[in-house]
Chain A
């Protein structure tokens, strides 16, 4: 029998200039309809407690340093999961004066979930992908 905690995830969410649309859907994962605690997953309050870091938004000039610090604080192995079109660099604000090239692109995300915003089920699929990838990295 393998590690019984292999599929469990501590998830830390990092907002880098998102419009809050992706956050509505991330929050929905905690409601009674999606309830990700059933998957053994939890949103954690510190990057130190995280296995997966979810990032949203195009990245902004004002958030770049804090975002880098947050990601650096996550223990290895870790997975960076980019949520939404903005994080992939294909969203509405790509090319805006104080926006970057996508939070997921700049932070070298492992996986991307497209959508504006992606539906909760799509984010859940992305998190399953993250769990699988984390197992391989371990």
Chain B
């Protein structure tokens, strides 16, 4: 059995989780029929520490010490029947048929509650937000997700692992390329296949294009959240141009199926010089847009001190990606656990310290610039006549866990393959899943009308959190 994931215990589990959480490299946890898996990142990639499931003996709930694991352990209990000694939040994680799930509210004189969702007023995914507020000030926000739960993981289990890749790409549209990237790397690790440097460079281009169009949309939506129409309109026009560039580079506006197990899709980077030319033009427009946005005093003033996430909150509740890096964090999978062609590209991780909307937008601004630099460098290193190829993967029985840096942070995938090349267990821990509890904390003490602003400064997905 191929085992790239498991490691011999050096420290007791709780100590290892504590050390990892302190450095924002605790990725999450999930359950199999036999054991619990706690997933961490080290310099050479993701790995797991296991805890056996013993019949008749409840497992220790690590969320008692690490609040960031609350969702993971609730999900294990709800979805895989794990019995824990004491879950701090014992509510069912998913929505049972016919049940209106209870919300946690703050109660007392002068406090009121109101509920928004699951259907929202814009073009947004479903979720239910229950605000407890005293006047305009939010005292507590409860986010009930899982309205988009399709049961992707169980649906994938039993499928041919290689043939399942297009489905993995469609768990979530906004971070499709990152998840495809992580999934492909998991299967390649199992098959013991190394790809050519050329293919690895092409994957960097795809992954960074995904970051560019997402971050542009996030910054534009954060302008809209502060009521700055021109910033929204220009930003969304640039996002459209970035999506058209995605189509030029991969054949798909959202980069679906651009990264496949064993290589890259047939439509990827057929004309690298054209992509290089177009991104150079786009970069000038993006630079001008971002300079204008960040020098608009009234907008900057609205962004500052809104939705503050303290560094200790970010760590305790497991912030990922730009949300973590905007609150003094330094973890970026591309540098902390480098993979593929990133190793030779000297990624400069962005950072900020204030933890507010402005800090998150600043990190995304800086990351857009760095992504474009990485795309251009990778494209210049690619041969002009580019022949995409896919290596055939022969999968032995085994397990692999991988992590890549998606637009919203670490995207983790665990793939367990049986003796016939089928998925026995599939689990995805998305950066949105990690960050939703942070959005909730970011609203404490803010005014209710700033929820769209604070929320859009994260711009998380629901589909990959719900699966």
> Interface of A with B (CB < 8 Å)?
13-28, 30-33, 43, 45-46, 57-58, 60-63, 66-67, 70, 91-93, 95-99, 116-117, 119
**B125 adjacent to A116 (CB under 8 Å):** no
Residues of B within 8 A of A62 (CB): 94-95, 118, 146-149
- Pick from A21, A45, A57: contact of B254, CB below 8 A: A21
Q: How far is the CA of A45 from the CA of B170 in the complex (A)?
A: 27
Residue among B146, B148, B236, B237 with most chain A CB within 10 A: B148
Residues of B within 8 A of A27 (CB): 123, 236
Residues of B within 8 A of A61 (CB): 95, 97, 149
Q: How far is the CA of A92 from the CA of B164 in the complex (A)?
A: 10
**A66 adjacent to B240 (CB under 8 Å):** no
Residue among A13, A15, A46, A60 with most chain B CB within 10 A: A15
Residue among B149, B167, B171, B176 with most chain A CB within 10 A: B149
Residue among A22, A25, A119 with most chain B CB within 10 A: A25
Q: How far is the CA of A30 from the CA of B236 in the complex (A)?
A: 9
B135 contacts A by Cβ under 8 Å: no
- Pick from B119, B123, B233, B253: contact of A66, CB below 8 A: B119
Q: How far is the CA of A70 from the CA of B147 in the complex (A)?
A: 15
Residues of B within 8 A of A16 (CB): 126
Q: How far is the CA of A13 from the CA of B123 in the complex (A)?
A: 6
**A60 adjacent to B147 (CB under 8 Å):** yes
Which chain A residue lies CB-closest to B155? A96
Residues of A within 8 A of B149 (CB): 17, 60-62, 98
**A92 adjacent to B172 (CB under 8 Å):** no
Q: How far is the CA of A31 from the CA of B244 in the complex (A)?
A: 13
B442 contacts A by Cβ under 8 Å: no
21 sample A-B contacts, Cβ–Cβ < 8 Å, listed by A number: A16-B126, A18-B148, A18-B173, A18-B463, A19-B173, A19-B463, A20-B172, A25-B253, A27-B123, A28-B243, A45-B121, A58-B150, A60-B148, A62-B95, A66-B119, A93-B167, A97-B154, A97-B155, A99-B151, A116-B170, A117-B173
Which chain A residue lies CB-closest to B99? A62
B372-391 residues at the A interface, CB under 8 angstroms: none
Q: How far is the CA of A31 from the CA of B217 in the complex (A)?
A: 11
Given A62-B146, A96-B151: A26 and B463 interface contact (C-beta under 8 Å): no
**B170 adjacent to A26 (CB under 8 Å):** no
Q: How far is the CA of A46 from the CA of B121 in the complex (A)?
A: 6
Can you add 15 more A-B contacts, CB < 8 Å, to A27-B123, A57-B148, A62-B95?
A13-B123, A19-B463, A21-B173, A21-B176, A22-B173, A24-B243, A25-B253, A27-B236, A28-B243, A31-B236, A32-B237, A33-B240, A43-B123, A62-B147, A117-B254
- Pick from A22, A24, A66, A95: contact of B155, CB below 8 A: A95
Residue among B118, B150, B253 with most chain A CB within 10 A: B150
**B233 adjacent to A32 (CB under 8 Å):** yes
Residues of A within 8 A of B151 (CB): 93, 96-99
Give the Cβ gap from B253 to chain A, nearest Cβ, in Å: 7
Task: Tell me what chain A mostly uses at the interface: helix, strand, loop, or mixed.
Answer: loop
Q: How far is the CA of A21 from the CA of B148 in the complex (A)?
A: 13
Task: Tell me what chain B mostly uses at the interface: helix, strand, loop, or mixed.
Answer: loop
B231-267 residues at the A interface, CB under 8 angstroms: 233, 236-237, 239-240, 243, 253-254, 256
Count contacts between A and B, CB distance < 8 Å: 129
Which chain B residue lies CB-closest to A85? B170
Q: How far is the CA of A119 from the CA of B246 in the complex (A)?
A: 13
Residues of B within 8 A of A58 (CB): 150
Residues of A within 8 A of B239 (CB): 31
Chain B contributes a number of interface residues (CB within 8 A of A) equal to 40
Residues of A within 8 A of B176 (CB): 19, 21
Given A31-B236, A31-B240, A58-B150: A18 and B119 interface contact (C-beta under 8 Å): no
Residues of B within 8 A of A15 (CB): 119, 123-126, 148
**A28 adjacent to B148 (CB under 8 Å):** no
**B118 adjacent to A66 (CB under 8 Å):** yes
**B150 adjacent to A99 (CB under 8 Å):** yes
Q: How far is the CA of A27 from the CA of B254 in the complex (A)?
A: 13
Give the Cβ gap from A13 to chain B, nearest Cβ, in Å: 5
Report B93-132 CB contacts with A as 1/0, cut-off 8 Å: 0110100000000000000000000110111111000000
Residues of B within 8 A of A46 (CB): 121
B166 contacts A by Cβ under 8 Å: yes
B158-199 residues at the A interface, CB under 8 angstroms: 166-167, 170-174, 176
- Pick from B147, B150, B173, B253: contact of A23, CB below 8 A: B173
Give the Cβ gap from A54 to chain B, nearest Cβ, in Å: 9
Give the Cβ gap from B458 to chain A, nearest Cβ, in Å: 14
B30 contacts A by Cβ under 8 Å: no
Residues of A within 8 A of B243 (CB): 24, 28
- Pick from A63, A92, A119: contact of B170, CB below 8 A: A92
B461 contacts A by Cβ under 8 Å: yes
